[in-house]
Amino acid sequence: LVKKGPEGARKLTRYLKDGGHACMLVDQKMTDGIAVPFFGRDAMTAPALAQFALKYDAPIIPVRSERLNGAHFRVTFYPPLEVTKTGDRRADTLATMTDVNATMERWIRERPEQWLWLHRRWPK
């Protein structure tokens, strides 16, 4: 586990440079980041996933965990998302995170009872 913030980013950077793999939670409330569409509204979204994928040519592999019954779960790995690479870092980051949010939105619409949010995703 790596802490959120500059120290964690440095550790993750070293790990990825050394060929390591990482898992990132992307459905968190952010007060900073970039505005990315999510359920028809802009939601502040951490751009780090796209930035790391672009910088280290790392695939983004969506993974969904679903509770089945009691303490039984199904974890599904999906094909890698396309990482947009036009040379415009800002636009590529936004396009990639838009795809990430669209993937999560599709999963939530399919099985809304599987999603637990204890925070407000959008400000009032």
* Rounded-to-integer distance, Cα 9 and Cα 52, Å: 10
pLDDT tens digits along 73-98: 999 999 999 998 999 999 999 999 99
Q: Are 45 and 30 in contact (CB under 8 A)?
A: yes
Q: Looking at residue 82, what DSSP letter applies?
A: P
* Rounded-to-integer distance, Cα 117 and Cα 107, Å: 14
Please tell me whether the overall predicted TM-score, pTM, comes out greater than 0.75 for this model: yes
Structure confidence at residue 29 (pLDDT): 64
- Report the b/e string of 60-73 with b at 16+ CB within 10 A: bebeeeeeeeeeee
